[in-house]
Chains A and B, each alone.
Chain A
């Protein structure tokens, strides 16, 4: 079945460091790909998405490119801030489907 695998956390970085959180997926067809973020004490929020191969999703300085050849959707940010500390979830939605399939989440902690 379809699945998402993320790099394990926690990830601890200093402010202004470069961030990469790896995400790979297994899916039939052409899924849409998402990154969700869960800030401490808050609900899940959509961070960015890409709906087809080679699309780049971006938001709040974060970027991820849908790579069909490597079945990957890695999240990157050039300079993290303390306020980026949160848990990040990679997810896919099957083509024509409604449900989301999530990875296990990666906790990011950014120190001043």
Chain B
């Protein structure tokens, strides 16, 4: 079956602009996670959804970052007033439920110039 998909695969934006990154989880997976991976580092947790609600947003670095999952399936990560330090690969993962194996998407590479 289809895995986790993320769009776009690459995004280049100017400092100060707004961006949206999309994640399509595996069908039927109730849990969805966003991570950020900087060059040469491991992924860092941003936010976790169980269904439509954000169950843990402790990893969001500041209030410029926001994520939604209005129908409990597709999720969008939104970044306002982008900064060069936001440049990274943004990874999405989904799992059948909390505690089950997480399946990762290919990521969106965000470059802020």
Contact = CB atoms under 8 A, between A and B. Distances in A.
Contacts of B45: 99-101
Contacts of A42: 106
A97 B43 CA distance: 17
Interface centre among A89, A98, A102 (most CB of B within 10 A): A98
Contacts of A49: 101
Given A98-B56, A98-B99, A43 B104 contact: yes
A98 B47 CA distance: 10
Contacts of A101: 45
A contact residues, range = 20 to 34
Given A98-B33, A98-B56, A99-B33, A43 B44 contact: no
A101 B102 CA distance: 12
A100 B41 contact: no
A44 interface: yes
A104 interface: yes
Contact of A43 (B31, B50, B105): B105
Interface of B: 3-4, 31, 33, 35, 40-45, 48, 50, 55-56, 59, 91, 93, 95, 98-99, 101-102, 104-107
